[in-house]
Amino acid sequence: MKLNFELVPDSCWYSNLRSILSPAQWDIVRKDAYARAGGKCMICGAPSKRLEAHERWEYDEGNAVQKLVDVVAVCHSCHEVIHIGRTSLLGGEERAAEHFMKVNGCNYAEYRKALGKANADHRRRNLVPEWKLDLGYLKKFL
């Protein structure tokens, strides 16, 4: 799937880079993503003047390591899909499902299946008591 859900484990208190970096540092990271995007969502390709920075993480469950792998610039619609838990709480799930199906060219059953898998991954990752952060990605900026 080109566009997928990226649910962050509940125990990752510091998973938001904005809470780790100074505003000036975050600006450098964020602007690098916007520059690479060139005015288009890096996931669906839609032109947008208001892209949002999104942090991509990989999870090594065996070693309890949460690794920052990229910061990308995405449109609001893609960002809503990525954070489907929060989006659903705010009443936007139907809109997010539509966007997911459009971008991935799939049907509702496939949407539900992908969501089920993301939720299962999320529950399993929540069993890890504490994730260690790997922020090596940021070295090139700081």
List contacts with Zn ion (CB under 5 A).
41, 43-44, 46, 75, 78
Supply 45's token pair: 């390709």
CB of 116 to Zn ion, least distance (A): 23
> Nearer Cβ to Zn ion, position 79 or 125?
79
d(CA 76, CA 55): 14
> Nearer Cβ to Zn ion, position 84 or 128?
84
> Nearer Cβ to Zn ion, position 44 or 71?
44
If you search the block for the tokens 């199906």, which residue do you land on? 101
CB of 54 to Zn ion, least distance (A): 10
> Nearer Cβ to Zn ion, position 40 or 122?
40
CB of 108 to Zn ion, least distance (A): 20
**Amino acid sitting at position 50:** R
The string of DSSP letters for 18-73 reads GGTS-HHHHHHHHHHHHHHHTTB-TTT--B-SS-EEEEEEEEETTTTEEEEEEEEE
CB of 81 to Zn ion, least distance (A): 8
